[in-house]
Structure 1
Amino acid sequence: MRSSSSYILFISLIILHYVSCQLQPSQLTTMNNLHKLLQTNTNNSKWNSSQDLSNPCSWTGVACTPNGSSIINLSLSSFSLSDVDSSWSSLVCQIETLRSLELSNNNLASIPPLLLSSCDDSLEVLNLNFSSNGLTGLLTSFLSGFRSLQVLDLSHNWFEGGIPERITEYRNISLLDLSYNRLNGSIPTGIDQLSNLQQLILSFNNLTGEIPPSISNITSLKQFAANYNRFTGQIPNDIGQLIGLEQLLLYANHLTGEIPNSITRITTLKCFSANQNGFTGVIPQGITRYLSNLDLSYNNLNGLIPSDLLSQLNLLTVDLSFNSLEGYIPVNASKSLFRLRLGSNWLRGEIPVWSSGNDTPSLAYLELGYNDLSGLIPPELRLYKNLSLWDLSHNNLTGSVPRELGDLNRLQGVQLDHNRLSGEIPSEIGGLEILVNLNMSWNLLSGSIPPSLSRLKMLTNLDLQVNNLSGQIPDSFGSMDKLLELQLGGNKLSGVIRSLPTKLKIALNLSSNSFTGPIPDSLNRLTSLEVLDLSNNRFSGGIPSFLTQMPSLTQILLSNNLLTGLVPRFNPNVIVSYGGNTNLSFPPSNQPAKTVSVGIVVASTAAVVVLMVVTIVAVIVSRKIHRVNDNEESHHSSQPEVVKSRLLTLNEIYRTNLDFTKVMKRASYASSVVLKTSLGTCLDWNNRYIIAFGVANGLAFLHGCPPGPIILLDLSSKGIMLKSLNEAQIGDIELSKVIDPSKST
């Protein structure tokens, strides 16, 4: 009897469990209808015919309660939803147990009205994500319901207008992300009414005004991101009241004043980025006491670097470049420090030695260029085995290049240019197997070029110009297959050139040396070379006709040599200089005056277009400067890349301070030259202005695209197409996705 009862109980439990694990019939019907609708109306539904229609809880993006009876989370991210048919929204509203709805990465231009009406009445949604769509209009139209929201993500859209005061009524919200929109106006003064707010993300908008002091009252705040806006004024003095703040991102604004000392009291703060502003005064003592990442670059800070700034145990990255800091570099630095940028200040003294013992420091990026540092390069730098970028350029360093440099086998970039270094180039450098960029130009280096440099198989840019180097170019240089640029001008090199790297593309500069013999036949293989400078040497013989067949050549300088014979006919787009060769002769159609005039026309036309585009772009997107910030990358981020001989680090920036008076004078002069040719009658000044303005607006649009900036490898007249003389269009968009960067400069 007992056995029979136990059996019945066991069967009952199984049945009960089976029944309880079944999705409610109404939700099962709703989900199958939604499945059918999305299969019919979208081309990218993640719910295909292989889905188990009897168990929606197993579908992609669907999450149910533990017993499987109710749907609580629904993600339709990347389902190609659009405004063409929004009937799916009425089905979503029928899932009364829904607590999280994600609709990111779709093609919605507006929020379906049913979601704002029916869903708000029937659902208690806590998490709502509409990021990365094409939503337009004002936020006011959206903020009319869902008062129970805890997470609201409307980032990467096209919302305009201000942040409405109504946002302060969402008292339960913990995450508010409005970044990457077109919002303007100021932050509501009553923002502190959101007492549960933990993440406030307002980056990449056009917000103005001051950061309200009331924000210091939101003690629950962990992340405040207001970067890339137009905020003015100062950081609130009471910012230190945010005792749980972990990340404070204020970079790329118009903030001024001093950095408040209260920031140093936030024990939880790990990342503080306030670069690209107008901060003045000194750096507060103890600012890095709790930080992992500090970026105060591109400001007007002055005074000394606090003695304890680099020595904090948890410190990973520090960027103080492009300020007016004075004095000496602190003598103590944390072994955890991964990236240090102190370039473009007024720092003096010697480079400190931060390492002792056998421990390997973490430092991988060291940038001290554009200062007033003096003394020797310390050989102890050999202990920095993790160094990837080493920039000591534009200082007053003396002595020799330490041979210990060859021990740093992780180096990809070495910049020692514009110092007073002497002695020979160490042959040990040839052991840096992954070195990409080597610049030792504008020093006092002597001796011959070590043949071991040809072992640098990854090297793309080699710049040794303006030194006292002598001897010949090593024959082994012909094996450097990755080299794109070779700068050897302004030395004492001599002899006959027998071998050159065959893949040079950017430039070959052998000017102002003592090379003799004919122009080498090895140049014939440089079919992708753009600039060739052989001027101010003792080359003799004729100008080879193969130079006229180099398709990528834009400029060739042959002046002040001993060349003789007939000058071959170059493409009119190539700027040719051959003055100072007294025994050259010219055919009637290739007189020097005509060649020079073509060069003037090409150069002046380019100057007009470039100057106008730069001027207008500077006005339209003066604050939209692309920059990769330390706070957006971990300290294990990727290695630096080399582009056109300029070493770009993960924290590089491009900025220009334009003197518009000088710009307009140059533009006026250039235009006067251009308007004197046949070109002036083809394109008048008004059309040029309209075209330049159209290009500038195109660039501004590409930079601010909601999904993120679009890559445009090169902007030149060849890539500008005219729909009419009043409408310019930018071509060659995102070619980087289909070409090999090593095949083009």
Structure 2
Amino acid sequence: MPSSVRFLTVRMFSLLLLLFFHLRACHSSPSMHPLCHDEESHALMQFKQSLVINESASSDPSSYPKVALWKVDGESRDCCSWDGVECDRDSGHVIGLDLSSSCLHGSIDSNSTLFHLVHLRRLNLADNNFNNSEIASEIRNLPRLFDLNLSMSHFTGQIPVEILELSKLVSIDLGWNSLKLQKPGLQHLVEALTNLEVLHLIGVDISAKLAVLQLDQNKLAGQIPSWIGNHTLLISLGLGSNILHGPIPESIFRLPNLEELDLQENLFRGTVNVGLLRSRSLVSFQLNGNNLSVIGNSNDSVALPKFQILGLGGCNLSGEFPSFLHGQNHLEFVELGGNKIEGQIPKWFMNLGTQTLWHLDLFGNFLTGFEQSIDILPWNNLRYLRLSGNKLEGALPIPPRSTIIYQVSDNRLTGEIPQAICNLTSLVILQLSNNNLNSKLPQCLGNISNSASVLDLRNNSFSGDIPDAFSSDCTLRAIDFRQNQLEGKIPRSLANCTELEILNIEENKINDVFPSWLGIFPKLRVLILRSNRLHGVIGKPRATFEFQRLQIVDLSDNCFWGKLPLEYFRNWTAMKTIYKERPLYMQVVPSFQLTGYGMTYPFDYSMTMTNKGLCGKPLSRKCGNGEDSLPAAKRGSAAYAIEFGWKVVVIGYASGLVMGVILGCVIDTRKYEWLVKNYFAGWQR
């Protein structure tokens, strides 16, 4: 190509680039935003002309007529510049109209040009006087609305069913009007508007025939409207899992026909006296998860309802076991966790609901034991028992055979695990951790391995061998025996537990070689063997699929010697997993589905990883005897305390490759430098 042609081509290309950037700059300039569409400016002007300005139409002292300067000629002809009007910066369509406190007076009927603004997303007409207008059915012409505020504007009549077509609504405020909500009713309104987060209906007349009001998990904010207490026919009121606050109106507790009251998981505060409950039919009463203080019945002559479901977790109950539970012999579900209940669980409570109680949660109190000493707890149909986080002393309480979840961690229990625990063949979760239990593990413990998913015995004083008795149809998914005095070898019957995801036996006295046979487990993700007496050479894996799901491995503070085979690093590809949407380096099954009971139970798990206690090169001494090996990492020392659950596990370096393959013995220096260069250097940058 001749040089002159090349020069001309380059010049033309440069000019095109300059033109492109000039057009981009012009497009981004504020002065070049599109003007308001003519049909929308005319619609706004006609809406203005259908009303008059009257200073008494708005009550806010700062109110002023925003529409006064709207014009369709001159410099102000662009409606996007009008007070109270918001336009889309790209399309020029009117997307917001805020005429609150604008001194507007007059009627809005079905012919109003307001309903021509079909691109509206926000509409605020609060604090005006629309002369007892009804909300027109033409509201359906604004399908993009997500924020609607018509409060204090003299609207009247029935809220139209067409409002249910505004499926994008997130916030509605219709308060302080003479409106009725009957057809549709409140229940129908909330069920249809699935994106609704804020609903204000103060002063709105709800149907007097309202019998069931279930608004659970709808992100409702504000206080409970006092008018709810006027609906004496209510038999079920559900406002759980919202963001409601303030005190609970006493009128709610006086509803005479109420059977179910669910106010749990909100932000309510104040004091609740259960003696205020007036409905003899009330069987379900739940206040869990609020900032309430519940007190007992101060008037013994007033009989309380016979509860079946009672949720008073985290309700600041204090002192001895709540005496208002006397005579509650129909109990099925009891939540009293997270309170300040002291002393012993009384004999009279143990005689309640012996045939009906299936869920009992007393965690996080100051309970010290049971007043009545018995071999097996008396609730014959119990399925869920949580006594964790108390001050229970003495022998391990044994629940009935029906139990599927038993948690008694973080107490002061002593003695052995009785043989009777092996009869709990329905158990799914058994947690006895952080107690002072001792002696050997019963051989029959393997009996529950064909039903259990979690076996947690950590931080006790168990000794002897781990029973080699895991059943052929083992269902265990998590085994945690760490911080005990267990000896011997890793039982080979553990190979039957093919569902295993977590195995932690750190800080014991296990004397064995590296358990390469665990590599066949298809779901094993966490393997922690730290601080034992494991020894010998770690041989090469026999197949490329060994430990293929492993994400966390800690072999530190043992007496392995030799070199860690490179093939393991090739097999451990699961360690490299990074989730682009969320920077997680490990994620496991979030919950257990308890088959046959219609329950989903979340199980949380924690562990400690160590990185030699100093994140430097291995020591120069070789492993020979106990004096040469690295000391076990002390609690609270330079170790990584990593909390993770079946919901989410976050761990490791910023890159996501988690390797706690920290050996308490020397690795060849050249091999170590090669490993750092090839596997860690890029991530440390």
Of 389, 393, 398, the residue aligned with 1:302 is 393
- Contact 1:318 1:340 (C-alpha < 8 Å) held by counterparts: yes
Structure 1 contact 76–103 (Cα < 8 Å) conserved: no
Distance change in 2, residues 1:369/1:396 (3 Å):
same
Residue type of the partner of 1:390? I
Determine helix, strand or coil for the equivalent of 2:670. strand
- Residue 102 of structure 1: how far off its partner (Å): 5.8
Partner of 2:211: 126
Deviates more, 1:270-279 or 1:424-433: 424-433
The 1:509/1:443 distance shift into structure 2, 3 A limit, reads closer
> SS state of the match for residue 326, structure 1?
strand
More helix by share: 1
1:106-117 map, 5 Å: 107=196, 109=198, 111-115=200-204
2:174 corresponds to 1:82: no
Matching residue within 239, 244, 253 for 1:168: 253
Question: C-alpha displacement at 1:175, in angstroms?
Answer: 1.2
**Is residue 376–residue 400 contact of structure 1 (8 Å, CA) maintained in 2?**
yes
Deviations 1:161-188 (A, max 9, x none): 3333323320111111112222222222
Give the match for residue 323 of structure 1: 411
Amino acid at match of 1:175: E
Correspondent of 1:236 among 309, 316, 322: 322
Aligned-pair Cα RMSD in Å: 3.8
Q: Is the 8 A contact 2:236 2:260 kept in 1?
A: yes
For the Cα contact (< 8 Å) 1:210–1:233, is it kept in 2? Answer: no
For the 8 Å contact 2:245–2:269, the answer to whether it is kept is: yes
Where does residue 278 of structure 1 map in the other structure? Answer: 366
1:223 to 305, 309, 313: 309
Give the letter aligned to residue 575 of structure 2. L
| One-letter amino acid of the structure 2 residue matched with residue 442 of structure 1 | S
Post-superposition CA distance 1:563-594 (Å, at most 9, x none): xxxxxxxx7xxxxxxxxxxxxxxxxxxxxxxx
> Secondary structure at the residue paired with 2:206?
helix
Q: Distance in 1 between matches of 2:241 and 2:388?
A: 27
Q: CA, structure 1 residues 157+76, in 2 after alignment: closer, same or farther (shift >3 Å)? A: farther
Cα displacement string for residues 593-619 of structure 1 (whole angstroms, at most 9, x for unaligned residues): xxxxxxxxxxxxxxxxxxxxxxxxxxx
Aligned twin of 1:418: 507
- The answer on whether the counterparts of 1:426 and 1:450 sit within 8 Å (CA) in structure 2 is no
For residues 145-544 of structure 1, the aligned pairs below 5 Å read: 145-212=230-297, 217-237=303-323, 239=325, 241-265=327-351, 266=353, 267-282=355-370, 285=374, 286-306=377-397, 309-310=398-399, 312-332=400-420, 333-354=423-444, 361-383=450-472, 385-452=474-541, 455-479=546-570, 480-483=572-575, 504-505=657-658, 509-510=662-663, 512-517=665-670, 519-526=672-679, 529=680
- Residue 134 to residue 463, structure 1, CA distance change in 2 (3 Å): closer
TM-score, normalised to structure 2's length? 0.60
Tell me if the contact between 2:284 and 2:308 (Cα under 8 Å) persists in the aligned partners.
yes
Quote the offset at 1:378 in angstroms.
0.5
Identity among equivalent pairs (%): 22
Instruction: Work out whether residues 437 and 459 of structure 1, in 8 Å CA contact, stay in contact via their aligned partners in 2.
Output: yes
Structure 1 residue matching 2:261: 3-state secondary structure:
strand
- Provide, for residues 704-744 of structure 1, a one-character-per-residue CA deviation record: whole Å limited to 9, x for no partner: xxxxxxxxxxxxxxxxxxxxxxxxxxxxxxxxxxxxxxxxx
The question of whether the paired residues in 2 share the 8 Å contact of 1:468 and 1:492 is answered with no
Q: 2:640 matched to which residue of 1?
A: none
Answer yes or no: is the 8 Å Cα contact 2:280–2:306 preserved in 1.
Answer: yes
Offset from partner CA, 1:57-105 (integer Å, 9 cap, x none) = xxxx99xxxxxxxxxxx9999763533557999463256xx69556265
Question: Does residue 193 of structure 2 align to residue 103 of structure 1?
Answer: no
Alignment partner of 1:321: what SS?
coil
Higher Rg: 2
Deviations 1:247-289 (A, max 9, x none): 1112222222222333333121101011122222348532453
**Partner SS for 2:512:** strand
CA contact (8 A) 1:101 1:125 kept: no
Deviations 1:525-578 (A, max 9, x none): 43xx5xxxxxxxxxxxxxxxxx4xx3x42xxxxxxxxxxxxxxxxx7xxxxxxx
CA distance in 1, matches of 2:678, 2:656: 8
1:494-643 equivalent positions in 2, closer than 5 A? 504-505=657-658, 509-510=662-663, 512-517=665-670, 519-526=672-679, 529=680, 547=681, 550=682, 552-553=683-684
For 2:457 and 2:511, how far apart are their aligned partners in 1? Answer: 19
Tell me, what secondary structure is at the counterpart of 2:508? coil
Report the 3-state secondary structure (helix = DSSP H, G, I; strand = E; otherwise coil) of the residue aligned with 1:443.
coil
- 1:139 is displaced (CA, Å) by 3.8
Partner of 1:562: none
SS at match of 1:290: coil
Residue 241 of structure 1: how far off its partner (Å): 2.3
Deviations 1:41-65 (A, max 9, x none): 66579xxxxxxxxxxxxxxx99xxx
Q: In the aligned structure 2, how far is the partner of 1:404 from the partner of 1:382?
A: 7
When structure 1 is superposed on structure 2, of 194-203 and 443-452 the one drifting more is 443-452
